Amino acid sequence: MTAPGGELLVFAVLTPVLGILLSFARGGRAAEAITLALAPVGLVLAGFVAWLVAWSGAPLVYEIGGLAPPLGIALRADGASATMMVVTALIVPAAAFYAREKFATPQGGESRSALTFWIMLQAIWAALNLVFLGSDLFNLYVALELLTFAAVPLVCIDGRPETLAAALRYLLFALFGSISYLLGVALLYGGYGTLDIVLLGQKIEGTPLVWTAAALMTAGLLAKTALFPLHIWLPPAHANAPAAASAVLSGLVVKGSFFLALRLWFYVLPGLPIAAPAALLGALGGCAALFGSILALRQARLKLLVAYSTVAQIGYLFLMFPLAAAPAGGALGWSGGFMQVLAHAFAKAAMFLSAGVLAEALGHDRIAQFGGAARALPLTFLTLGLGGLSLMGLPPSGGFEAKWFLLRACAASGQWIWAVPILGGGLLAGGYVFRILAPALGDGEVKVKASPRRSQELVALGLVVIALALAFAPENFFEFIRIGRPLAGGGAS
């Protein structure tokens, strides 16, 4: 049954699509204006969906064409997807606002890079909303592909050979991921005749077919999420993209495929004994957290350092699997993992935007030559420092809240081993944040080529303030993100 207000879900997906069509038709400066005009509309839609979900305490469902699954396809907003929609509606407009200078349309004409940027940004928004709302595994495959096709051009938007190579590598990894996911979908359809997440979740059994399908789909999603050891495409792609694009790619796009992995394991398969595969995912996550942080410590360029830090932070996300699947403390693990998704999205977007400001102002982003830069760009280094606070997991920040929940989940379920990457990764994060800040706060004189734009610095600061404010999320918020999560199999308490 389509609930009252379910039409909002369709509007949430279609509004950016409408923006893309209008941008194409009008061309020129219109693309930029339309993207910026979408910002309040998207935020109101996402906020309204979240309010409806919170008010009714149940997922908001829209059945397309009035056909119920398994015949039709449903869009479904639960607490987790509504939260992610709001996050998207905050970060995408922030990146758009930040990018107005770099991708301004020349007077009286249009440039290819500007038009591509604005259209792809809206496409990412539409695809992400579909990923968060989709309730049919094949529909989600299409959403995931749209997300990739929108993200790849953003990587190589300036057309330098190294960015083209990075984009190509990203695309090939993503293609492997999607075809592997699709094979899993085919097997599940063959077994159950439906791909609706809710229906599958009720029918699913621990047969070899289901485990094979789950393994194929998970492997595909890991390649797209860049979990260690499939992370090698991420640093060059994210570090070479323009700053505004990097913020969206690192903050949001990798979360899209991660969200699908959550959907698969906690919504489709919650009735099965998933402790062993969840432990494997957790082990990969733990390796990513340590390995990514160590590589981040060794980078000479700021944007590469921030990109490797994304590899590490993605690792923490996957600790959610063993901790949230445990019979005891599962709810703590879920809250902590989700808080990590949010904290990393805001903190990382802010840090990439700051890295962009820095690169524009200094003309380079080599950390060794940052001596004294904090005096020239105090606001930007404040943002980098506060973002680093959240990455390290020091209070008060969303990152601290996330790690605190995860550690409590470790204690409650007796899985002490996961505390090692949580604490060790935080220590290493402290190391690489120190590496950025220490030379900048030290002596020296930097040549500022162009004075930084205050508006861009403030956008980044605004995002990092949200990352810190997450530390004060009330208890109701954690109840909200559990709305619509199946409880079978003792996954949640």
Partner 1 sequence: MTPSVLAGLVGAALVGLGLYGLISNPHPLRKLLAFNLVGSGVFLVFGIVARRGAAAGFAFDPVPQAMVITGIVVAFAASALAVALILRLAAASGKVTLDPRAWTKPGEGGQ
| Contact pick of 70, 271, 396, 490 for partner 1 (by CB under 8 A) | 70
- Give least dist CB 97 to partner 1, A: 20
| Contact pick of 32, 63, 196, 365 for partner 1 (by CB under 8 A) | 365
Q: Residue 99 and residue 114: Cα distance in Å, rounded? A: 10
**Largest separation between any pair of C-alpha atoms in the chain:** 68
Q: Residue 148 and residue 259: Cα distance in Å, rounded? A: 15
| Contact pick of 43, 47, 301, 473 for partner 1 (by CB under 8 A) | 301
84 vs 302 by CB, closer to partner 1: 302
- Give least dist CB 181 to partner 1, A: 10
| Contact pick of 85, 123, 182, 295 for partner 1 (by CB under 8 A) | 182
Instruction: Give the binding-site size for partner 1 (rule: CB under 8 A).
Output: 47
299 vs 413 by CB, closer to partner 1: 299
**152 touches partner 1 by CB under 8 A:** yes
| Contact pick of 10, 179, 427, 448 for partner 1 (by CB under 8 A) | 179
139 vs 415 by CB, closer to partner 1: 139
**149 touches partner 1 by CB under 8 A:** yes
Q: How many helices (H) and strands (E) does the chain have?
A: 20, 2
8 Å CB contact between 356 and 98: yes
| Contact pick of 236, 282, 337, 425 for partner 1 (by CB under 8 A) | 236
**Choices 179-187, 313-321, 372-380, 479-487; region in contact with partner 1 by CB under 8 A:** 179-187
Q: Residue 258 and residue 484: Cα distance in Å, rounded? A: 18
Q: Residue 184 and residue 220: Cα distance in Å, rounded? A: 9
3-state secondary structure of 230: coil
| Contact pick of 11, 176, 434, 477 for partner 1 (by CB under 8 A) | 176
Positions in 303-342 near partner 1 (CB under 8 A): 303-304
By 3-state DSSP, what share of the chain in percent is helix, strand and coil, each rounded to 5? 75, 5, 20
Instruction: Give one word for 111, left, alpha or beta, with left for phi > 0 and alpha for psi -120 to 50.
Output: beta
Beta-ladder partners of 63: 74
Q: Residue 16 and residue 135: Cα distance in Å, rounded? A: 20
**Choices 13-21, 138-146, 253-261, 483-491; region in contact with partner 1 by CB under 8 A:** 138-146
**187 touches partner 1 by CB under 8 A:** yes
8 vs 152 by CB, closer to partner 1: 152
Q: Residue 337 and residue 317: Cα distance in Å, rounded? A: 6
Q: What is the DSSP code (8-state) at residue 197?
A: H
Provide the b/e sequence for 5-14 (b: ≥16 CB within 10 Å).
Answer: bbebbebbbe
Could you tell me which of 83, 80, 79, 101 has the C-alpha nearest to residue 91?
A: 83
Q: Residue 392 and residue 400: Cα distance in Å, rounded? A: 8
Range list of H helices, 226-271: 234-240, 243-248, 254-262
| Contact pick of 192, 258, 265, 338 for partner 1 (by CB under 8 A) | 192
**17 touches partner 1 by CB under 8 A:** no
Place of tokens 């004060």: 472
**209 touches partner 1 by CB under 8 A:** no
**Choices 26-34, 101-109, 159-167, 269-277; region in contact with partner 1 by CB under 8 A:** 159-167
| Contact pick of 14, 215, 359, 419 for partner 1 (by CB under 8 A) | 359
- 393 phi/psi in degrees, rounded to 5: 90, 35
**Choices 114-122, 144-152, 323-331, 445-453; region in contact with partner 1 by CB under 8 A:** 144-152
**Choices 1-9, 74-82, 161-169, 450-458; region in contact with partner 1 by CB under 8 A:** 161-169
Residues 6+ apart with CB under 8 A from 209: 187, 188, 190, 191
Query: Which residues of the shown chain bind partner 1 in the complex (CB under 8 A)?
Result: 70, 138, 141-142, 145, 148-149, 152, 156, 159-162, 164-169, 171-172, 175-176, 178-179, 182-183, 185-187, 189-190, 192-194, 236, 239-240, 243, 300-301, 303-304, 356, 359, 365-366
